[in-house]
Amino acid sequence: MVLRGCLWRMPMPRYRPLPERAGRAERTGADDYKDAADAGKIQRKVGDSGYPPLLEALGEGVPDATDPSGERRLYFLRRLPRDPLCGCPGEPAARNWRLRSYQCPPDEPREGDDVFDVMSRNTGEALDGTRYDQW
């Protein structure tokens, strides 16, 4: 009985749905890219937001602007995670996601000159009633 009471009080890890975790990895990579651009490690044009122009840049890497030899690259993800809910196995991982640009309003996500956020393309509903593309 005492053992069951101790186990009952142990904190349990919160379940994170797989698509939410995959999207979070790409969001974190985009934020790290922005931080590197703001720090001057990535060459960018005047007026650019600092977010990656393509999702592929997070996994393929970009030249380090602080390296005098120009050989070093900055990588933000080991590989691009696929959208687990996409249901499109033949497409590359970068095309699985719906992209949101920094310039678009939050309630009307659309693609643009950069990648600020990613969402699932699947419009189905989760068990709690929320739509996958709203995560």
What is the greatest pairwise CA distance in the chain?
67
> Hey, which bits of the chain come out as E strands?
62-63, 73-74, 97-100, 117-120
CA angle 27, 98, 73 (to 5 degrees): 45
Q: How far apart are CA 135 and CA 128, in angstroms?
A: 12
Q: What pLDDT tens digit does each residue of the chain (135 aa) get?
A: 555 554 455 554 444 455 555 567 778 999 999 999 999 999 999 989 999 999 999 999 999 999 999 899 999 999 888 888 877 778 888 888 889 999 998 888 899 999 998 888 888 888 888 887 777
Contact 61, 135 (CB under 8 A): no
Distance CA 31, CA 34 (A): 5
Q: Within 10 A of 23 (CB to CB), how many other CB atoms are there?
A: 21
Q: How far apart are CA 81 and CA 115, in angstroms?
A: 15
Tell me the domain boundaries of the chain: 17-43+50-134
